[in-house]
A and B are shown apart, each in its own frame.
Chain A
């Protein structure tokens, strides 16, 4: 009789559990902790709303009858050629060419989110691969890669990004690649550090003695264990990438008009904001809300994935439970 049979026999003998006890993986625990964090949940809701707005932008544009690239011929600009303020027709007013600011802001969200997510994804993949290779192999490969990472990290990236874009010519994909190029190094450094300590662990030794190839050890054994810091950094990289795109577009080296991006809208607003505050406030407000939401969510994810914070969350739960009990007691009284 095997051990499991004895165990199952013991359960049969009248101790049948009422419900199956699910094992709680660290990921599940992290998800539970994240759900308890109010700031993160509000941020997540804001981000979901933004994504929806961005996806539905063409529909909303059609529905309101305002295109993002052509000005309203009759009600876009007043007799002096100045933009109109917010009204029932144009919710957030019009810009210097009589275009609807609300619709352009929604189209801008498409660009910001696309650039933020895609650039971060590319930077993450590149950073993880370089970090794993550098940390795992060590030796001359590590010396070269680690030094290269340091060099990329220490250079003022905006100057180099501008020089690069000036030479390649601005476009959406150049913007994404430039941002990814200046973000992968931070990821690579973190992954390298983790890999350096993980590769000495017994389970890696075990995998190696079972004949696991280097590639398998790196990507199947080590990689899942560096995912937590990678996810945290990636979620904090998205707002950085969004600001970077806005900055590049603002100085005229990112998204090329007439495509709307928050950066080039703000750049246009420079000429009009003294008579039309909404051209500055609306895109700037959206930009700020988006980056704050991503930063808050990123902070929340970091806290949720850090086992050391479990104590704080447990305290919070206890406090919440007490508050509920007190409420119930009050209600009964």
Chain B
């Protein structure tokens, strides 16, 4: 067990090192001259030289790489080319909004996805199953931004026009502690948008997994013991059917905390995803690289947790 954890930890370190080296290389692939971007388009060459020197861009590559890794180990991600704020503080602000979005939506999609999945598996080929199939098909075919735009058009724009109580559909994610009601009002549409697509995938996953499990021998044993169908499905079947769903959940939470680009952009939540987008349209390399490294770190840690907890949950997993 300990060996397994140590191996996974080492692997995580290797992945982080590869990702940081990769992003460092991106600095050099990137067209354009950062020094010139910062100094401004009309700056004289001397100014550009000074900026270049201050950024350390005139050092040999290997020295720059050393500085880069050294700063990373101290958690220093540098400063934005544009706002001069530290990348760390920008990311911290974005992360708060993204967490608000992802955690709220995850409750929604887990409840809806698993419920729909169980219903359609237990009534396979029935009306519920057909309805669930349509929901899943719509959910996976609908691009997130189309859903988000439609929702905000109806529940914000049209409802306001008709004089109905409407939901907020724009602006940065507020802090939950200052005004919970306002926070709820503003987050509902983003939650629904994000959760719909996810719920579709989860109900498909739950359905498939539960149908597989219900074909197992021990379920037949449970039935032949005379247990009620309800008990068989919920106590015996669902328990092991949910293991792959939980694994997927861990992976997804990790991946989504790294930024939900589209949902954040549609509703202007100012989370990690939207920051990435703004940084990339501005050519703000330090922020882009900061995001990539942060996301890589979150995902790696999330996968580590999933791997380790999986081996506790399911003793059949060989710890190789």
Contacts and interface: CB of A to CB of B under 8 A. Distances in A.
Interface of A: 147, 151, 154-156, 158-160, 162-163, 165-169, 239, 243, 246-247, 250-253, 266, 269-270, 273-274, 280, 284, 287-288, 291-292, 295-296, 299
B256 A167 contact: no
Interface stretch (B55-63, B143-151, B216-224): B143-151
Nearest to B14: A147
Contact of B291 (A147, A159, A284): A159
B276 interface: yes
Given A156-B256, A158-B262, A163-B292, A288 B299 contact: no
Contacts of B292: 159-160, 163
A250 B143 CA distance: 11
Contacts of A243: 141, 143
7 contacts: A147-B11, A158-B273, A162-B280, A163-B280, A252-B281, A273-B153, A295-B140
B141 A247 contact: no
Nearest to B150: A284
B204 to A, nearest CB: 11
A299 to B, nearest CB: 8
Interface in B4-50: 11, 15, 26, 29-31
B303 A247 contact: no
Given A156-B295, A159-B273, A296 B137 contact: yes
Contacts, number: 112
Interface residues of B, number: 45
Given A156-B258, A166-B281, A167-B26, A291 B143 contact: yes
A295 B280 contact: no
Contacts of B303: 154
A292 B137 contact: yes
Given A239-B140, A295-B141, 9 more contacts: A147-B11, A154-B251, A160-B295, A162-B261, A246-B145, A251-B277, A266-B146, A266-B149, A295-B140
Contact of B279 (A156, A166, A251, A269): A166
B94 to A, nearest CB: 12
Contact of B149 (A151, A154, A160, A280): A280
B113 interface: no
Contacts of B258: 155-156, 159
Nearest to B303: A154
